[in-house]
Amino acid sequence: MGNGEGIYLHEYMPRSELVVERASIEEPKFPVVDFHTHLGSLTEGDESEVKERLACHVERLRALGVEHVVNQERRWGSELADILKKLAPWTDFFTTFGGVDVAQLDEPDFPDMVEDSMKRGADLGMRGVKIWKNVSLEMKDKNGRHIPIDDPRLTPIWDTAAELNLPVLMHIADPVAFFRPVDRFSERFEELQRHPDWSFCSPELFEFEELMEQQARLLEKNPDTVFIIAHMGSYAENLGFVGECLDRYPNMYVDMAARLAELGRQPYTARRFFEKHQDRILFATDCFPAWLEHRKYYEFLETWNEYFDYSSSGSQGQGRWKIYGIGLDDNILEKVYNRNARKLFQA
């Protein structure tokens, strides 16, 4: 074993011998609005327990320089009302997006149900709508067909969102490798071995390219609705494509949630992208309470650090590579950290 014989791929964890300067970032230069977070089980249980857990969570985030977070929920009705009630003591810190019951798509009163549900949510304090990837990649209509994200039957959601001035955060696709064969050419092979259910490489499902076509039609057909396309516009591996979409669709924003590994391995391209589209990018992490990686994002955005881990866990679970900082100018940095998010809620 001393000469490396008999080592399996999953056991191989090389330690870099590279010696370079590295700036340490403990706090962001500007207050941060994290536009894509999840509170998960923090809001479950009786109100006294929830209050204590939330107070600790808020304290942890504020210590990281976060002044506000957008809690992305996929709930509606009484469940959403319960969450909003429990978050009421922290309305200065939490903004909540709610969901829509897309499972009722084929019901004749679906348009009325959508309008009523969204208006009730807005009256309670819901500030936006979250639509998840399960709509196109898991759910089926009454005819057993997967539902395209630009399906005309979903139009009442977009129309009501525009009427109520509610931005819609869309998670449409996962990393491209999740739609490709899980073989020796897959850059996410190890990740997909650990999570085989994350693979969408199936003839029964929409291909990645089909989802991107649906996404484009959705943006084009609904110009009055503001869409935040999560995870760098669904295609962090191809920022040129995302940039073209931003140029074409003024109602489109992107968040950078859970795409630090992708952005940081293409620092020159990423920096040009942030410079050109600085008014349409939202800081976001997709973090859960047990997983707060904000300082890694700060390091990427603020420094010129080279070849560092994109996760503080010590395990590079998304791919076997390191990342590089892009050293954004302060004006761009402040827009990404908070001004773009504030602008959306002032519109």
Q: Return d(Cα 73, Cα 7) in angstroms, integer.
A: 43
pLDDT tens, the chain, 347 aa long: 456 578 888 888 888 899 999 999 999 999 999 999 999 899 998 888 999 999 999 999 999 999 999 999 999 999 999 999 999 999 999 999 999 999 999 999 999 999 999 999 999 999 999 999 999 999 999 999 999 999 999 999 999 999 999 999 999 999 999 999 999 999 999 999 999 999 999 999 999 999 999 999 999 999 999 999 999 999 999 999 999 999 999 999 999 999 999 999 999 999 999 999 999 999 999 998 878 999 999 999 999 999 999 998 766 788 889 999 999 999 999 999 999 999 998 75
E strand or H helix at 87: helix 77-87
Does the pTM surpass 0.85? The reply is yes
Write down the domain spans for the chain. Answer: 31-346
Q: Which helix (H) or strand (E) holds 88?
A: none
- CB burial readout 174-203, b (16+ within 10 A) else e: bbbbbbbebeeebebbbbbeeeeeebbbee
- pLDDT for 4: 57
Q: How would you write 99-133 as a 3-class SS string?
A: CCCHHHCCCCCHHHHHHHHHHHHHHHCCCEEEECC
pLDDT of residue 65: 97
Q: Which residue carries 């994200």 as its tokens?
A: 149
Architecture of domain 31-346: Alpha-Beta Barrel (3.20)
